[in-house]
A and B are shown apart, each in its own frame.
Chain A
Amino acid sequence: MFELYKAEFARYRVWALCAVVAVLAFYGFLAKLKPFFEAEALQIAAMNIGLVGGSFGFGIVQMILHKRINHWTYLIHRPLEVHKIFIALAGAALTIISIVVVVPLLIMTVGFDAFTAETVDMRHYAYILQLLLTCFAAYAVGTFSVLNASKGAFLIILMIAAYLMPNPETDFKQFFPAIIILAGLFLLNFNSFKADLTAHTKEPWAIFLQVSGMALGIVMAIMASSTVFYHLPLFITGQHPDDNPYDGSFSYMYEYEMGERPAYVLRNSTHPSADIYAKQAELADQEFFSLNQWTFPRQGQMYVKDKQYALQPRGLNQIWQFSHDAMLLIGRNNKTDEIIGVIGQNGFLDNLDAVTEADRFREVPFMIGESFLETTSHLYQVNFADRDMLVKHEPDAGEEYIGRLQINEDYIVIVSDKKSYLFDKVAFIDEFEATEAEYVVEHPTRPEAMAWVATYRLADGYMMLFSGNDYFANNKPGASIVHAKLGGSSELIHEEQYAYKRHPFWIQHLEFIASPANYILKNVYLHYIEPSETRNIPFKDITGNRYDTHVWIFAGFLQVLTALLAFFWSRRRNLGKAQTITWAAMGAIYGLPGFIALVLMSPWKRDVKA
């Protein structure tokens, strides 16, 4: 076995060496261009595509090379058990991947750690492990999609992408799922790696694992295909809702220019000044701000998830990076690379030796712009020239910030879970002192139900248009107009509920209907991993009033149908008892993806003696 491992390793070692050199050159080039650990989107994308995608491709290529008929016989037909052959091949490949992924990144990380004042934390090393595990998983999907006789095994890569990409709230949640997924993938590979590659998966446990892996990809494929079976035909026949806005519906609002939308919302208003508001909006300065809930950085999070690399005050040649290990901002001189001080939650300190436990931040703050730090409870402003820090703003008692400070043309805004705080822009930035908000608006509904707020500058404040498809919860769209007045008061002018009137429910809730189990599994898992991400719906919300009874009934009916379909299909194909039961169960559990997986995982041509 070890000889085979050596032989397979020898096959790729030159390539591995070339890859290491190329990756290292790429990293070196990046480090010249910008701070190496700054999570620039293009860099992360390039590393993911290059290394994770490369591992996926490598798995495919490696196994395709072996799968060629004569080569396969040569590989398998020797006095060595097949699982040992696989261990040798996969072992060699994982060694190659480890070398290409770890060596260059470790050189860079250790290099910066040892030879510069750049803040390098445990998390920078942990990222190497995280990247490596992801690459291993991608490799295993690559080999599996070649080795397995089924058609859709590659779809598992979509699950890897969806499940391993979020920003987990703990290290355990970061690494444990990756290890579980890896274990599952390698079990599947072991099961598929046998002399006869034309044999389809038979073992109930393997079918269950494989279908579970493919379900998410199949659901995504179903959703993508709705373009073909639903949207395109409607566009062609001119009956698509996008082309036929329905007056009185929520989406009809977008038929109007931004300035005209308040008029549409206020149409049924009984407020005495409704008309005036509507008219004022047309001429007012218009802006947006976001109500998106941000996942605040956690201690030890992968640095690729960082939103901002450091605070770099203009004209001072200083870089202040947040150290997750120390829970402090550590400043260094950009030119001399010397530590010039640290910032704790109580302000500046001269050096690390002066730090007491009380100085350390309790939460990892967002770094914003040149001088702001934001935790869920505090907004700090730093004056680097005078080496001073103060609390610029705090949300009202019982509230937490949910979003980063947003700097607009006309105002600055911070959003908490209950209110939006608007500040005068010039004073906010220029003055170094604690600030009260000029305008405070209580959100008319849960912020996660709304993505954006449109603001209209009025003579005496701002008119705000809140809207969302889920405004009244349970998929009931709505919008409201609020008048924010100077001094912190606000008045709800009007609130309007709309009919959905767009797509039929089976298109609107396609993801849920196609496979409630997959939908629940995905959301519950992702919600568990990253609770502050509002796109992930917790279990109690899904089972609450989110979906009408008829949606549940339809989905349930579909599942019974797919279970029956899977059962009879298996019977017709003369599958064994255990397989038939397993497939019927897959149809019952996963619904449509269960049945589609059965079709993908069965031979399409039946071998019949003519």
Chain B
Amino acid sequence: MKLHKFRQMGMNIVIDVNSGAIHVVDDIVYDVLDHYKSNTLDEIIINLQNKYSKEQIKEAYDEIMQLEEEGLLYTEDPYKNIILNDNGPSYIKAMCLNIAHDCNLKCKYCFASEGDYKGERKLMSPEVGKRAVDFVIENAGPRKNVEIDLFGGEPLMNFKTVKEIVEYARKREKETGKNIRFTITTNATLLNDEIMDFIDENMGNVVLSIDGRKEVNDNIRIRYDGTGTFDDILPKIKAMVEKRKDGKQYYVRGTFTRENLDFYNDVMMLADEGFKEISIEPVVLEDKHPFL
């Protein structure tokens, strides 16, 4: 029964969440909707009598009612009962492995406290990684396709374990008939030819972090000595993307903060560099953080 309504570019827009219907409405309907489910028509006429005539309100009310009857407003969630009544077993579909609780950068907005997640700086052992592969396979049930994300910290600080996990997963795929898709998220600083070839061959998707324009990136994505990373990572990201032929996936992935609310310029800069798959997303931090 959810509606989402907002004003933008001089329009009143109403989205019926469960059906996906989208309506542009006038001010009368926009106001009547605030009362439609909680008041009778007569009550709404009284509530809004200082703004609209009785006839206007009645017309708007009737149009809302008509769309409700047609299943385009206040639609019930068709999946609700299916989900609530699903008592079957639940299976694992994807797993995220923090390959390294460590990072060679100290980006100012880092949610992982510069990689260590407020714990010890440690690397995942190959043995733990292999057991994680077994765990996913054993708990994936009937699902053939499962995903493993290689994450951190900076996972390439522990490339040895990355390689062993992938090698082990390939062996287990043959034994079990599962298809394991890997993704890796990297700050791109440690990319070299060997690592790029490995990623290209073995990763279903590679997420490459850069925030856009040099001054934007180097304000936040910095090394321990305070220097920016832009000049180092841009050519490496280009080289990595260059290898992704035949529709292989990648994302050039930036985060925007209050420091670059004009982040469309960062999207344009990345597009001008030739990247086709660009994702710029908002930083998520606690309310008082300076980079929220």
Task: Tell whether A pairs with B.
Answer: no
B-binding residues in A (CB < 8 A) = none
A-binding residues in B (CB < 8 A) = none
